[in-house]
Amino acid sequence: MSRVGVLVLGPAGVGKTTFTNSIITYLHTVGRTAHIVNLDPAAEPSEYEFSIDIRELISLEDATDAMKLGPNGGLIYCFEFLLKNLDWLDEVLGDYDDEYLIFDCPGQIELYTHIPVLPSIVKHLKEAHNMSMCATYLLQAPYVVDISKYFSATLSAMSAMMLLEVPHLNILSKVDLIQDRYSKQQIKRFLSPDTFLFNDQNEMFVNQRYVALTEAIVQLNQDFGMIEFLPLSAKDNDTIETIVSYIDDITQWAENQEPHEPKDEFELPEDE
Ligand SMILES: Nc1nc2c(ncn2[C@@H]2O[C@H](COP(=O)(O)OP(=O)(O)OP(=O)(O)O)[C@@H](O)[C@H]2O)c(=O)[nH]1
């Protein structure tokens, strides 16, 4: 028995649910099946039905009403409740042997960058369910191309990578929204950032020490090769296909299925 678990992570509004639905649509078109595991206790109804839904155990409304908590405290309460009730998760997962499960997660990144709740759940999925896991961490292109946001965004991705300890893909979402501001070549350099890329933005810093700091952090990133992105544009099937091929390679889904090599080159969506 083997299961694949794809975690869809990232700050609020980066496109996690849209990406989850795009993967399901793509997999259906190539004759594969996948299921959505909704881990957002405040989720709205989505294009595809959730196969497993945390709201059947606890919803954000239950937590905020019963415990008199605000939305963030309520969300943390829901995850702690899930952690205490892993037998519920075991039971609902019991029906999904040999399946491809996509975990759509909430956008409150403290759940996977600051507190150990999601890492504990992920550890349980790996150990108790023999799940082959891959984390996808989405950051939206219109933010990441701004140098001051680039750092907080990439550091949050790195923090999740270190806390979760599962193979990790960084994804630059909503690439279509920057295609009229940047050439294909510039966008390719955002996917694998280098110091040269940010030189034209350094003038925004009055304090020259920030310029030096910027260059040092980008250099560190380059030296360790920690942050590279795969491009995503939700309506562009090629970007979805490439990301799925990487996930398949990481989770070795293809080993038990048809042979499937990951693509060598990133394919950027065509300019509008
Ligand atoms: N232009 C563009 N818009 C996108 C893309 N992906 C998502 N969006 C839009 O971004 C908004 C947020 O998308 P969601 O999928 O709800 O984002 P989310 O990360 O699941 O949001 P939360 O669950 O609230 O954290 C919606 O209006 C989407 O239509 C994309 O690739 N391109």
Do 42 and 106 meet the contact criterion of CB atoms below 8 Å apart?
yes
Q: What span, in angstroms and rounded, lies between the C-alpha atoms of 168 and 262?
A: 15
What is the predicted pLDDT for the residue at 133?
Answer: 95
Q: Which of 160, 110, 166 is nearest to 138 (CA)?
A: 160
Question: What pLDDT sits at residue 205?
Answer: 61
DSSP element (H, E) containing 35: strand 35-38
Ligand 1 atom with least separation from CA of 12: 25
Higher-confidence position of 152 and 108: 108
Q: Is the CB of 171 under 6 A from ligand 1?
A: no
Q: Determine what percent of the chain is predicted with pLDDT higher than 90.
A: 53
Answer yes or no: are the C-beta atoms of 212 and 198 closer than 8 Å: no
Burial annotation 183-215 (CB, 10 A radius, 16+ → b, else e): eeeebeebbebeeebbeeeeeeeeeeeebeebe
Task: Give 19 Cα–ligand 1 centroid separation in angstroms.
Answer: 8
Ligand 1 within 6 A of CB of 22? no
Query: Alpha carbon of 179 to those of 26, 35, 176: distances in Å?
Result: 23, 32, 5
pLDDT at 255 over 50: yes
Question: Is residue 272 scored above 60 in pLDDT?
Answer: no
Does the Cβ of 236 fall within 6 Å of ligand 1?
Answer: no
Q: Are 14 and 171 in contact (CB under 8 A)?
A: no
Is the minimum distance from the CB of 44 to ligand 1 under 6 angstroms? no
23's tokens: 């993967």
101 token code pair: 């499960």
Please classify residue 137 by burial: count the beta carbons closer than 10 Å to its beta carbon, then call 0-12 exposed, 13-18 middle and 19+ buried.
buried
Does the CB atom of residue 174 touch ligand 1 within 6 A?
Answer: yes
Query: What is the bridge-based pairing of β-strands 100-104 and 3-9?
Result: parallel
Domains of the chain by start residue, with CATH: 3-182+228-256 (3.40.50.300), 193-226 (no CATH)
How deeply is 175 buried, as exposed, middle or buried, from its count of CB atoms within 10 A (0-12, 13-18, 19+)?
Answer: buried
DSSP three-state, residue 117: helix
Query: What's the confidence (pLDDT) of residue 203?
Result: 61
pTM of the model: 0.88
Is the distance from the beta carbon of residue 233 to the nearest atom of ligand 1 less than 6 Å? yes
Q: Is 108 helix (H, G, I), strand (E, B) or coil?
A: coil
Mutation choice for ligand 1 from 7, 9, 18, CB with most ligand atoms inside 8 A: 18
Nearest residue by C-alpha to atom 5 in ligand 1: 174
Q: How far does residue 17's CA lie from ligand 1's centre (Å)?
A: 7
Residue 108 in contact with ligand 1 by CB distance below 6 A: no
pLDDT tens track for 133-186: 999 999 999 988 777 777 778 888 888 888 899 999 999 999 999 999 888 887
Handedness of CA 258, 235, 239, 49 (dihedral sign): negative
12: Cβ below 6 Å to ligand 1? yes
